[in-house]
A and B are shown apart, each in its own frame.
Chain A
Amino acid sequence: MKDYDIVLGARGEDRLTAVDYINGTIKEFTEFHGDRYFGDDGAVIAGIGMLKDMPVTVIGIEKGKNTEDRIAHNFGSAHPEGYRKALRLMKQAEKFHRPVICFVDTAGAFCGVDAEERGQGRAIAENLYEMSDLKTPILSVVIGEGGSGGALALSHSDRIWMLEDAYFSVVSPESCANILWKSTEKADVVADALFLTSEKLYKLGLIDKICKKDDVAGLAEDIYSELKRLCEEDEDTLIDERYQKFRNIGY
């Protein structure tokens, strides 16, 4: 399978979406709404629930199931209030010592006049900033599309996992080809060069685990045991290791 096929597959409409992963892993999921500043963003679903015997905060970017549903969730592209809702609930999780699980599936943060005027850049920046020393474990799973900054805003985590058929990229292959060669035709060539598949990102050391697709029950088990491990670490070690994890990327 070519890398570009993985990108196309990750966009497929028949895939499981964030709600499926939330319902499949979390019992008694209780959704909470709103960012307390502007509104409630349909693209981000967030709340609390039980992962076996462990209370957790869970946040997902949801694309929707049918046309109407997709419009309600803005096709999984969050506005600033979505990222601010996520951050509000992460701060709440910190207060009550609950670990945080993020299911990431977005083509990217929403591109629009409103989103810009309400500070899309600032919203993403604030998430990275605050998540970097959030005093509770964070585990993110890219379940489909990991579209640039919009996906990164929920991935400043102790563990970044990816489904084997998901992708995570700095830019969509189409935009990249368009910028480089003024044509989207070479998107498949560019997709190879961007190193966006789970396998390549794992080899680069940028993600921590490749998860089997379509095995929600198995994923729940893995998340549970990983969070148990992370909850045992003392706060300073946890924050320090999270800092070093990102500190070591690159040069």
Chain B
Amino acid sequence: MELRSLFLKANNELEYSGNRIRSRKVTCKKCQKDVSVAKIRKNNFVCPNCGHYFTVRARRRILMLTDKRSFVELNREYESKNILGFPEYDSKLQAAKEKSREFEGVICGEATIGGHRSCIFAMDGNFMMGSMGAVVGEKITSLFEYATEKSLPVVGITVSGGARMQEGMISLMQMSKVSAAVKRHSNKGNLYIALLTNPTTGGVDASFAMLGDITLAEPDARIGFAGPRVIEKTLNRALPKGFQKAESVLECGFLDAIVPRDQQKSYLEKLLRMHNC
């Protein structure tokens, strides 16, 4: 990461913590009303007018779900390389680092949640749409291996457009790599809770997002394998209302529960407690 990117302000105006912005307002995409940034932040990044869920970057997501000052990050320094020499990938990586203020699209580590020791990973939608390349696969695999070794549960927050095509088959095979690590973790009797957020699609949906012992989702999150536009184009007709939204995915039987943002931490605490973690 270039030094200057550490000093850049985040693109997401909700995240910027300078004083001047406290009085600022943003327009909610859903209800089109202007809402003060301070109010949105206080409300877990949910619009106080219409309940729209604003995106939350990975680091804040972890802060929201773990006990204060308990998070210790693992493998933060791993950085992607343009292994295949894919056109424009270098500049995209650079832009993603600046936009997300992270080295890669997932943050992994250990923390306590309501006093329960747990491993946690959170993907970052600001980093190339949370796509999974070799580093994302490696970090999550390492985390599961670490959790297996220490007999710790894993809480995973997913947001992803799928495999990162700029890394070709190397990124596709991360699906296999992570899934195998999840299996080993499970074989030792450890708990894995997946929390799916908007959107969780493609290769991430078709691997570790769907492999939790308990699978949770945020309201209204898009969850699915194929992109809606691709399906629409293939079938040449409009998609049913609410298609691939968490509420309908739950109805189809692929989620255990939909948990609103303000209840997520206590919900996780309860689950960890009931598993004696």
Give A residues with C-beta under 8 Å from B.
Answer: 109, 111-113, 115-122, 124-126, 128-130, 132-133, 148-149, 152-153, 155-156, 168-171, 175-176, 179-180, 189, 193-196, 201, 204, 206, 242-243, 246-247, 249-251
Contacts and interface: CB of A to CB of B under 8 A. Distances in A.
A152 B177 contact: no
Interface string B137-159: 11001000000000000000000
Given A113-B231, A251-B138, A129 B179 contact: yes
Q: Most chain-B Cβ atoms within 10 A of its Cβ — which of A109, A132, A155, A180?
A: A132
B134 A170 contact: no
Given A113-B239, A170-B163, A152 B175 contact: yes
Given A109-B206, A130-B183, A180-B88, 11 more contacts: A109-B226, A121-B206, A122-B254, A124-B206, A148-B163, A170-B169, A171-B163, A193-B168, A249-B176, A250-B133, A251-B135
Given A125-B207, A149-B172, A250 B231 contact: no
Contacts of B88: 180
B205 interface: yes
A234 to B, nearest CB: 18
Q: Most chain-A Cβ atoms within 10 A of its Cβ — which of B141, B168, B205, B235?
A: B168
A149 B173 CA distance: 9
Given A179-B165, A206-B170, A250-B137, A113 B240 contact: yes
Contacts of B78: 251
Contact of B211 (A120, A125, A251): A125
**Interface bracket on B:** 35 or more
A246 B182 CA distance: 13
Contacts of A189: 87
B167 to A, nearest CB: 8
A211 B203 CA distance: 28
A169 B168 contact: yes
B84 interface: yes
A136 to B, nearest CB: 16
B173 A121 contact: no
Contacts, number: 175
A149 B183 contact: no
Contacts of B133: 250
B184 A243 contact: yes
Contact of A246 (B177, B210, B254): B177
B169 A168 contact: yes
B202 A149 contact: yes
B267 interface: no
Nearest to A122: B210
B208 interface: yes
B173 A250 contact: yes
Given A128-B207, A132-B183, A170 B226 contact: no
A196 B169 contact: yes
A109 B225 contact: yes
B208 A250 contact: no
A142 to B, nearest CB: 11
Q: What secondary structure prevails in chain B residues at the interface with A?
A: helix
A206 B172 CA distance: 11
A194 B164 CA distance: 11
B3 interface: no
Contacts of A121: 205-206, 209-210, 223-225
Contacts of A119: 210, 252-254
Nearest to B75: A251
A206 B239 CA distance: 37
B66 interface: no
B8 interface: no
Contacts of B223: 121
Interface string B175-202: 1110111111001000000000000001
Interface in B32-66: none
Contacts of B19: none
21 contacts: A109-B225, A112-B231, A112-B234, A115-B226, A120-B206, A121-B223, A121-B224, A125-B175, A125-B207, A125-B210, A126-B210, A128-B175, A128-B206, A132-B180, A133-B183, A170-B167, A171-B165, A189-B87, A204-B169, A246-B180, A250-B134
A196 B184 CA distance: 30
B187 A116 contact: no
A149 B225 contact: yes
Contacts of A116: 224-226, 231, 243-244
A118 B206 contact: no
